[in-house]
Amino acid sequence: MHADHSLTLEDGVDLIARIWQPSGSGPWPALLMRQPYGRAIASTPTYTHPSWWAEHGFLVVVQDVRGQGASGGCFRGFEQEARDTTATLKWLRSLSLCNGRIGLYGFSYQGFTQLVAEEDTPPPDCLAPAMTGLNEREHWSCEGGAHWWHLGLGWGLQLAALQAQRRGDASAWEAIRCSLEGNRYCRDGLDLLRRYDPEGMAVRWLDRSPEDPDAWTCYQPPTSWLRQPMLLIGGWWDPHLRGVLDLHRLSLEAGGQPDLHIGPATHLRWWPNAQQLHLDFFQRNLIGPSAYPSIQAEGTVRHRGAVMAWDLCEQRWYSVTDARSSSGGLWQLSGSSLACLDPSAGELRALSAASQIPGSLADTSSIEQKINRSKTVMSETVVIVHDPWRAAPAIGGHLSPTPGPCDRSELDARSDVATFTTAPLSLTCHLRGRPILSLLAAADQLGFDLCVALSVCPSGSDQVQQLSTGVTRVRGLKLGQASSQTVALQPLEARLQQGDRLRISIAGACWPAIAINPGHPDSPCGAPSSACRVTSIELTLNQCQLRFEPLIDSPER
């Protein structure tokens, strides 16, 4: 049973919400989602239908945000949501169907709308933001100094098509849809955005410099909201994972005890128990402990403040007792330019005992001595040639058009991908945290990209199972000028077994996850074109090291 309801704001704009109510007589605790994609969809690509929540005793309210769906006003994206969230919560508490207890849920944009409100707004009783973030640059549109290309264009065109449909512009909707269906959007998508949604949030982001943090907005939730019971959902192959981790840190700093689950999920494809996890959380915090099931599915929360992580190798859940520590040790690259042709020519060597012993902490002075000794050895170099005509593609991971786990053995066999692989591990190796690859690099053009993947080569298999990816964009250097660069990869949790091998792969592109770097400042980064130049990238290997930073920053930092 559902019906549409209207909220008239102070400026005269009507916000339309669809409400599903349980059978029987209320009032009931409410679940609220505020979203821009149409209240009838109600985020069913990732969540079960609102009627399921209603069957479990919740009043479910899905609202079209300002300027979207049936709601009035002009859609301006994130900047409009704090005031409207405040007004919506006040309205919801006034409804006779609601008993005053409110939980917020939703992912992506719907996760963001849970987090922003005017500072003195009374908080909801609990929140469950999934796959979202607060920083427009770091959490929504850029990585390593480069725009998310495929993701930014695809999402922007979806919003532009909704706006075209709203104003009755069928030709604009068809042009956008044909570009997406014909896989042309990575080439003509920006032009379509400028033509059909020139004031839209996506095109505004794509026009901003990824290198200038002051050009971007970072939003701040009310402090009291961060202390409320919070269920945070992240995915290893979701582009917003860093936003979820930063939100976890903010909640801890505010005195909260958020539950965090990072699972085997892309942005739109989650693990089976995610719905039950949400149900347990809302029953416990909105109905009471008596409604909380005594038997819980694997991967569900056991206590407030739990951190649960899915192991990418063992494919099982682990409870993380100290997410502010990392494990994985320190590794160094070694080899020659044959690493682009012969997988045995590039070596990844352990520089610390922690590189092979799970959970151990390496002695810092010993690491520094080993690094200093390695610098006295004759420099080994690798030259990677990036040809924009046949740019190295992005596969799997968190930014590509095909996110998720993948076998990158064929990609690693390309001559424009340098690989560095360990010998078979003599001990198990626990990797936890954010992989950071430091490199000394130079190029024969004024700009280049460093696109990195971390993988495991399982014992007894020819597969190369990709674990994590990252990118750094370099622009404005002099020709041949060597510079220190850092590539921060997607965080991970993985336990390698004895006999497995760890691999680093490096290329000069990951198209279309990020746009092609043309190699000079006269042409913007974008689709491959005649303006793009072949670029030779030289790495000095004895100054290229892999380390791991904590999964979650300490609040004291």
Q: How confident is residue 379, by pLDDT bands cut at 50, 70 and 90?
A: low
For the cut 90, the answer to whether the pLDDT of residue 94 exceeds it is yes
Q: For residue 322, what pLDDT band results from cuts at 50, 70 and 90?
A: confident
Which pLDDT score, from 0 to 100, does residue 370 have? Answer: 45
Q: What is the mean pLDDT of residues 350-374?
A: 50
Find the mean pLDDT for residues 358-366: 38
> Binning pLDDT at 50, 70 and 90, where does residue 375 land?
very low
* Matching residue, tokens 């997410």: 323
Total residues belonging to the chain:
557
Report residue 108's pLDDT band, with 50, 70 and 90 as the boundaries.
very high
Count of beta carbons in the 10 Å neighbourhood of residue 11: 10
Q: Give the model's pLDDT for residue 552.
A: 84
The position carrying tokens 């626990």 is 430
pLDDT in tens, 43-57: 999 999 999 999 999
Rounded mean pLDDT of 237-262?
Answer: 97
| Closest by Cα among 455, 466, 451 to 506 | 451
| Architecture per CATH, 2-134+219-310 | 3-Layer(aba) Sandwich (3.40)
* Region 331-549: CATH code: 2.60.120.260
pLDDT, tens digit, 9 for 90 and up, residues 454-493: 999 999 999 999 999 999 999 988 888 999 999 999 999 9
- The answer on pLDDT for 358 being more than 90 is no
pLDDT at 352: 75
The model's confidence at residue 215, banded by pLDDT at 50, 70 and 90, is very high
Q: What confidence tier does 366 reach under pLDDT thresholds 50, 70, 90? A: very low
Q: Which of 106-110, 437-441, 478-482 has the lowest mean pLDDT?
A: 478-482
Tell me the C-alpha distance between 107 and 89, whole Å: 18
Q: What is the DSSP letter of 78?
A: G
* 373 pLDDT higher than 60: no
The tokens describing 441, both together, are 């690099």
pLDDT band at 276 (very low <50, low <70, confident <90, very high): very high
pLDDT at 121 over 80: yes
Domain limits, CATH 2.60.120.260, in the chain: 331-549
On the question of pLDDT at 359 being above 60, the answer is no
Q: Does residue 410 carry a pLDDT above 60?
A: yes
What is the rounded average pLDDT for all residues in the chain?
92
Whole-model pTM? 0.92
364: pLDDT strictly greater than 60: no
CATH 3.40.50.1820 region(s) of the chain? 2-134+219-310
Q: In the prediction, which pLDDT does 290 show?
A: 58
Q: What are the backbone dihedrals phi and psi of residue 486, each rounded to the nearest 5 degrees, phi first?
A: -130, 130
Torsion angle of C-alpha atoms 217, 222, 228, 233, degrees rounded to 10: -10
Sheet strand arrangement including 231-237? 2-8, 14-20, 59-64, 28-35, 98-107, 126-130, 231-237, 259-266, 307-310, 317-319
305 falls in which pLDDT band (50, 70, 90)? confident
pLDDT at 378 over 80: no
Task: Answer yes or no: are the C-beta atoms of 46 and 107 closer than 8 Å.
Answer: yes
In 3-state terms, what secondary structure has residue 536?
Answer: strand
**How large a percentage of the chain has pLDDT more than 70?**
92
Sign of torsion, CA 149 162 79 254? Answer: negative
Can you give the pLDDT at residue 554?
62
Name the least confident of 171-185, 230-244, 263-277, 316-330.
316-330
User: What is residue 535's three-state secondary structure?
Assistant: strand
Q: Where are the alpha helices (DSSP H) in 258-393?
A: 274-282, 364-375
In the prediction, which pLDDT does 191 show?
97
Lowest mean pLDDT among 88-92, 140-144, 324-328, 359-363: 359-363
